[in-house]
Amino acid sequence: MATIADPKRSQRQSGEEGFISANSLGDPTSDLEIFAKEVLTALISDNLPPTPNNFSLYFDRILEEKSESLRRQIGAILELEENNEDEKSIELEKTLKRGFSSVKSILQLSATLYKNISLMEKILDKRKEEIKNIPSLSGANDLLASLGNDVGKLSGILKKQVTHMKTIYDETASIVKQVENETIFDNQFGVYNKRYLIMRLEQECHLIDEFKHKSSLITVRLSKDANAIQSEKAQQLMVRTVARLLLKTSRRSDVVAHYGEGIFAMVLKHTDLESAKRASERLFDLVASSNFFLAEQEIQLRIAIGVAELNSSVGVEQTLVCTLNAMEAADKEPTLRYMVCNS
């Protein structure tokens, strides 16, 4: 594998030093295009493959040598694509550490409670043996009074510990809920969750507004014919099959997410409506040709697909509703592979 060369040396060799000057700055998008060509030229000059990792490395290093004005312009464009994932990860780690600390406190309290209950049992056993050797009633009453005093003290301690444990448990439950609200992954189907989907759709609409490219959205679910299968386990397996096939057909830049209740969504970045239609046809055929066996019976899978082109002037929620409605309409027409949203 080729080693990464010094991009500064590439600039000198290729005569690209100062390819963009502060005086040439105008449209930020055009400036970014010119700069990207310079980065690509440097990669080619150093005989390196223009992979995302190599391009990103050269992009950052060459940008350091440019004027402050250009760095600000390109930085403003890049901010549209940033998710502040590092900051979110740090906050999530802090929350998790608080959760671990709370769980540790609960375990410590549980251990103390167990010890105190064991101590009470030992005291009771000891008093039982002592009462056997007491000849008088007054002596027995004194022993019972002493026992009552011991039990009362331990009972007071246990009540305080239980109250403390309940408080910590409530705090832990709140932390767990907070972590759930910050997650972006759906463990059941191995794709992103609804929260992440909404965030990426909003981000993509901002990018479309800035760069005027086209992106699309499709929503997918099993046809309602699958509801005829009584086995809940079989239905879950079929839904997981759809999720797996969505991941199989998606590109690295696409976002596959579980919208909820067995409905999946795929954000097709830099994909116009016609390309989204072709992708929907391929997905429909792929699912239809996939074998799914229930006991000895082979089941023909069929999906319903709604398609929409993202529009920065139309809200994300409205686009989703329209696409879901198109999906429902497609399910009612057995001859259709998909239905286009009419927003």
> CATH code at 323?
3.30.70.270
How many structural domains does the chain have?
3
Residue 5: predicted pLDDT: 56
Q: What percent of the chain has pLDDT over 90?
A: 38
Question: Given a cut of 70, is residue 179 above it in pLDDT?
Answer: yes
Residue 83: predicted pLDDT: 63
Q: Do 335 and 276 lie in a common domain?
A: yes
Residue 149: predicted pLDDT: 82
Most confident range (mean pLDDT) of 86-100, 170-184, 310-324 is: 310-324
Q: Do 199 and 238 lie in a common domain?
A: yes
Q: Do 177 and 199 lie in a common domain?
A: no
Residue 28: predicted pLDDT: 56
Q: Do 253 and 327 lie in a common domain?
A: yes
* Residue 215 lies inside a defined structural domain of this protein: yes
Q: Do 32 and 103 lie in a common domain?
A: no
Residue 307: predicted pLDDT: 98
Q: What percent of the chain has pLDDT over 70?
A: 87
24, 44, 79 — which closes off a domain? Answer: 79
* Residue 2 lies inside a defined structural domain of this protein: no
Tell me the per-residue pLDDT of 188-235, one tens digit each, with 9 for 90 and over: 999 999 999 999 999 999 989 988 889 999 999 999 887 777 678 888
Q: Do 221 and 178 lie in a common domain?
A: no
* Residue 128 lies inside a defined structural domain of this protein: yes
159, 182, 205 — which closes off a domain? Answer: 182
Residue 27: predicted pLDDT: 60
**What is the mean predicted confidence (pLDDT) over 93-106?**
82
Indicate the pLDDT class of residue 262, thresholds 50, 70 and 90: very high
Question: Given a cut of 60, is residue 296 above it in pLDDT?
Answer: yes
Higher pLDDT, 304 or 30: 304
79, 97, 117 — which closes off a domain? Answer: 79
Higher pLDDT, 24 or 9: 9
Mean pLDDT lowest among 77-86, 144-153, 158-167, 323-332: 77-86
Q: Do 304 and 251 lie in a common domain?
A: yes
> Domain span at residue 136?
86-182
Q: Do 256 and 153 lie in a common domain?
A: no
Contact (Cβ atoms closer than 8 angstroms) between residue 226 and residue 237: no
Question: Given a cut of 50, is residue 15 above it in pLDDT?
Answer: no
Residue 19: predicted pLDDT: 40
* Residue 68 lies inside a defined structural domain of this protein: yes
Give the integer Cα–Cα distance in Å for 101 and 106.
9
Higher pLDDT, 203 or 25: 203
Strand partners, 219: 265, 306
Q: Do 233 and 312 lie in a common domain?
A: yes
Q: Do 57 and 74 lie in a common domain?
A: yes
Question: Given a cut of 90, is residue 299 above it in pLDDT?
Answer: no
Q: Do 96 and 53 lie in a common domain?
A: no
* Residue 1 lies inside a defined structural domain of this protein: no
Q: Do 201 and 312 lie in a common domain?
A: yes
* Residue 323 lies inside a defined structural domain of this protein: yes
